[in-house]
Amino acid sequence: MRRRVFITGIGLVSPHGTQPEAVFERLCAGQSAIRKLRSGTEDLGADCLLAPSEFSIEGVIPKTQSFAMDRVAQMAVVAAHHALHRAGIVREEEAPVPSEAGVYFGCGLGGSQAIQDAYRTYFERRSRRPKPTTVPLIMANAPAAHISMRYKLQGPSLTYSIACASSAIAIGEAFRAVRDGYVDSVLAGGAESMMNDGTLAAWEMLGVLAKEHPEGAAASSRPFAVDRSGFVLGEGAAALMLESEESMRTRGAAPVAELVGFGCASDAHNLTQPATGGQAQAMRKALADAHLAPERIGYINAHATATPAGDNVEIDAIKQAFGAHARALSVSSTKSMHGHLVGAAGALECAITALALRHRRVPPTAFLRNQDPACDLDCVPCVARDVPDLEFALSNSFAFGGTNATLILRRA
Amino acid sequence: MSTFAEIQAMLTSKFDVKPELIQPDAKLVDLGLDSLSIAELIFDIGEKYDIEIPEDDLEFQTSLKDAVALVDKLRAAKAA
């Protein structure tokens, strides 16, 4: 028997802030959180386009836990904290009560700063003694583990590492686990923070990052535009409390949105170049999973990272999956404003999609002044749009390595 | 600052150990730290004074008084 699954609380540590409603407002206003920052030192470093996230662990993570947490895990716990509070599961001033809830989290890399620190000890100091917490700082399952520990969540704590699709798949698998009765509630989401200079240098060499646009650093992430040049790395965490309908109603909680479909398919094609077939298949599978005809979808939060090769492939895949209805869709990429959060991208964008349904308002693709003719769908250029009859929306996350994930949400 | 006071500062600032627990006769295990925290503390002490603390000489059951004595001994040996 398939149970209905609802999102009952959202927590964010994002380039636009930590309050979901304020974040959504800023996105709808077309505000970019992208900046040019100095990475590394004067003699070994570079100016980089980045979407950093500010946050505080004060009052959320005790020092007895935080000393063994890299930035990525700290962001994850802060996002989880807010999601659990907003869902009414953890209350202010009260110690968390042990529960059977699971944690399904995406993380692409892990404790990136700790990796760099450990190698510095080895190569610069010629020492075989990095700090004792090095292994737990680095391990990619640290975010999920720390959430589980901090909030006494005793169900399965799982980490999905699938590059740009990590947290979309974590949410999708959590959705299936709750729907199919394996667990009644899951804190699902993702976290990523890899803004240490060594890692940024590696990303630069891959040739996928945006160049600074003549209009300025903030305007450099330009999905679907003729002058797009690549993506801007972001960092952050997003946590969504998922519950079965019964769990939600028993607690008297209110839903933010409902999860209704998840589809996943691989390109089996190329390490960094996407293919339409696998993307279209993920979308078709999600629609089938949700028992929805394509015409029911009103909005797609696209994966579109603003790489020259990628955006048009997604547009073609949408046309394949949706047929004639593709022309009636609103398709926007909020990466134009918050950048690419990699392991946390799917979760942040799922949260944004949930808010779009709640408000019946879709955020724009910012800076889309000269649309690429090869991306010829309605990409909501520059200005947010009210969609009064918005009922179902879809969020895409397509990863390096060719794994494609699609989530479908319903307004609650 | 005395070695004891410096270690006391490390305990309060890095691990939020309650000041009233930090007594000379208190064992490391009594300070509310787990094994990973103690390993990190020993590492930090070694880094701070640039000394190498032999693995078995400083552990759970060591009192702060004895820990301070060991650190002072190692520092003196290094200076000599």
A340 part of the active site: yes
Distance CA A84, CA A9 (A): 6
Within chain A, which residues score under 70 in pLDDT? Answer: none
Report CA Rg, chain A: 20
Q: Do B15 and A64 touch (CB under 8 A)?
A: yes
Distance CA A44, CA A116 (A): 14
Q: Write the residue in A67, A129, A132 that is nearest to B15 by C-beta.
A: A67
Residues of chain B in contact with residue A131, where contact means CB-CB under 8 angstroms, are: 40, 43
Q: Does B32 have pLDDT greater than 90?
A: no
Q: Of A16, A81, A303, A338, which one is the catalytic site residue?
A: A303
B15 and chain A in contact, CB less than 8 A: yes
SS3 A379: coil
pLDDT at A269: 87
Q: Do A64 and B43 touch (CB under 8 A)?
A: no
Instruction: Give the residue on A whose Cα is nearest the Cα of B38.
Output: A132
pLDDT at A275: 81
Q: Does B56 have pLDDT greater than 90?
A: no
A164 part of the active site: yes
Residues of chain A in contact with residue B43, where contact means CB-CB under 8 angstroms, are: 129, 131-132
Interval B20-46 mean pLDDT: 92
pLDDT at A274: 83
Confidence category of residue B55, pLDDT binned at 50, 70, 90 = confident
Give this prediction's pTM.
0.97
b/e for A48-63, b at 16 or more Cβ within 10 A? bbbbbbebebeebbee
Closest CA to A337 of A303, A364, A357: A364
Closest CA to A17 of A336, A303, A234: A234
Backbone CA torsion sign across A232, A237, A243, A248: negative
pLDDT at B63: 93
Name the DSSP class of B62.
Answer: -
The one-letter code for the residue type at A209 is L
Choose from B10, B13, B15 for mutation: most chain A CBs within 10 A.
Answer: B15
Q: Are A227 and A68 in contact (CB under 8 A)?
A: no
pLDDT at B17: 94
